[in-house]
């Protein structure tokens, strides 16, 4: 469906055209009319489906319909996101699509000084994009008034629940008006998400444009079995041999991200790491350098990468498999956006074969395995894994293995669970 057929205003269509789009994605074609009708919406959409424009465009139009010129506008739209990066991406979308409209917006997250945010809020804004923790800081300091919020958007609600933000969300929902339009976007419709929707939404229209937990069909997936100690060597080999110029690499931990970045640098490959311990300035610079082509490799943890949207990103590498299969889906969804083809490879050692089987079970398919000459798995290591019981449940033609990662790092769980909850405000950048 074309954007011009969705009932959008001339100003919004002009902004869409300037962005280079004319045809709406499925989530946009379904969500925009429902939002314009004023309905609550529960939408299931993976990253890369165009969901941000799916709520930004109609929300801007709703503001346009009821716009009253005033010297100091009060926030009428609130968008909550789980991470700083996603907040910045949403704010960018609001700016780009609202370029021909008179509305002011502000993005609020931690990791940066709170005072410039206060100054912007004091001057007045129509739209606020925020992470929950820092927004509550502003509420506590009385630098924001949420009493006139008309539309609430919970973006990537599943990740907000995973990161332990439910308490902060409830606090905010007790502050904003009960009479409002609420939009909830989630990659999956878990039981927890449905419970959240029943609590916060009123007779929502439900949309799901991609099957739950299904990998993007345009992504080619390959597994390279390799010993753990040779993963970095194989990664550098692939980058050099195939002349990859832009690669997003995932690790499970911040320490692994830092170590890999240093090792790639030693190999002469320009790279940078982003994770929760990096300052917001460092994360913003790393992402900007990556998008501009100044560095070839961006190494990220799952939480830090949430919300990263890079057009035509060709390669995603799982340097370490995530402990939670759904995170694999989110990772490879960073490539193959907007109908482009993408390439996802996973470097898998024997300790990760159980994680691989769990991922294949969620996907409902067996990922192709390729044994690269010169990088064969050490038979002694494989035999040791089998002796310890890891190979008994199979694992395809590559044999079995056990996952030592969950045992050694029980708090990680792909940045889910207890450890993530303990660090939730740091991950969102509350302070």
pLDDT averaged over every residue in the chain: 83
Full-model pTM = 0.64
pLDDT at residue 429, rounded to an integer: 41
pLDDT at residue 304, rounded to an integer: 66
pLDDT at residue 152, rounded to an integer: 97
Please choose, from the candidates 74, 58, 56, the residue with its C-alpha nearest in 3D space to the C-alpha of residue 126: 74
Residues 18-61 pLDDT 10s: 988 889 989 999 999 999 999 999 998 876 678 999 999 999 99
Q: Are 401 and 354 in contact (CB under 8 A)?
A: yes
pLDDT at residue 417, rounded to an integer: 35
pLDDT at residue 424, rounded to an integer: 36
Residues 57-80 pLDDT 10s: 999 999 998 876 666 788 999 999
Q: Which three-class secondary structure state does DSSP give residue 270?
A: coil
Tokens linked to 416: 């889910």
- Cβ-in-10-Å burial (0-12, 13-18, 19+) of 272 comes to buried
| Crossing angle between the packed helical segments 84-97 and 280-292, to the nearest 10 degrees | 60
If one compares 231 and 214, the residue with the highest pLDDT of the two is 231
With a cut of 60, say whether residue 431 has pLDDT above it. no
- Averaged over 207-232, what is the pLDDT? 80
Residues 158-215 pLDDT 10s: 888 888 898 999 999 999 999 999 999 988 777 888 888 998 999 999 998 865 445 5
């Amino acid at each position: 469906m074309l954007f011009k057929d969705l009932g959008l205003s001339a100003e919004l269509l002009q902004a869409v055209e300037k962005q280079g789009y004319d045809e709406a994605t499925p989530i946009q074609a379904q969500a925009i009319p429902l939002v314009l009708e004023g309905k609550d919406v529960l939408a299931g959409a993976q990253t890369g489906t165009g969901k941000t424009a799916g709520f930004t465009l109609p929300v801007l139009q709703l503001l346009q319909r009821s716009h009253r010129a005033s010297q100091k506008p009060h926030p009428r739209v609130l968008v909550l996101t789980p991470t700083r990066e996603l907040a910045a991406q949403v704010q960018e979308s609001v700016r780009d699509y609202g370029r021909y409209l008179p509305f002011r917006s502000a993005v609020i997250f931690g990791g940066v000084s709170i005072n410039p945010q206060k100054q912007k809020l004091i001057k007045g804004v129509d739209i606020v994009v925020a992470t929950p923790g820092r927004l509550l800081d502003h509420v506590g300091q009385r630098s924001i008034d949420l009493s006139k919020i008309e539309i609430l958007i919970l973006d990537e609600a599943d990740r907000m629940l995973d990161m332990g933000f439910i308490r902060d969300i409830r606090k905010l929902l007790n502050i904003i008006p009960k009479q409002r339009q609420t939009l909830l976007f989630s990659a999956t419709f878990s039981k927890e998400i449905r419970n959240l929707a029943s609590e916060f939404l009123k007779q929502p229209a439900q949309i799901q444009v991609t099957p739950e937990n299904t990998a993007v069909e345009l992504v080619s997936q390959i597994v390279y079995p390799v010993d753990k100690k040779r993963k970095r060597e194989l990664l550098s080999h692939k980058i050099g041999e195939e002349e990859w110029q832009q690669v997003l690499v995932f690790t499970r931990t911040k320490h692994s991200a830092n170590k890999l970045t240093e090792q790639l640098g030693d190999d002469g490959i320009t790279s940078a790491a982003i994770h929760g311990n990096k300052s917001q300035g460092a994360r913003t610079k790393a992402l900007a350098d990556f998008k501009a082509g100044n560095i070839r490799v961006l190494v990220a943890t799952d939480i830090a990468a949430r919300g990263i949207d890079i057009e035509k990103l060709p390669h995603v590498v799982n340097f370490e498999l995530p402990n939670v299969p759904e995170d694999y889906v989110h990772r490879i969804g960073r490539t193959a956006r907007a109908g482009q083809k993408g390439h996802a490879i996973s470097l898998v050692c024997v300790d990760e074969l159980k994680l691989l089987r769990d991922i294949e079970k969620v996907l409902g398919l067996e990922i192709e395995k390729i044994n690269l000459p010169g990088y064969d798995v050490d038979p002694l290591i494989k035999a040791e894994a089998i002796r310890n019981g890891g190979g008994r449940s199979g694992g395809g033609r590559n044999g079995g293995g056990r996952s030592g990662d969950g045992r050694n790092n029980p708090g990680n769980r792909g940045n889910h669970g207890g450890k993530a909850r303990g660090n939730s405000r740091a991950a969102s950048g509350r302070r």
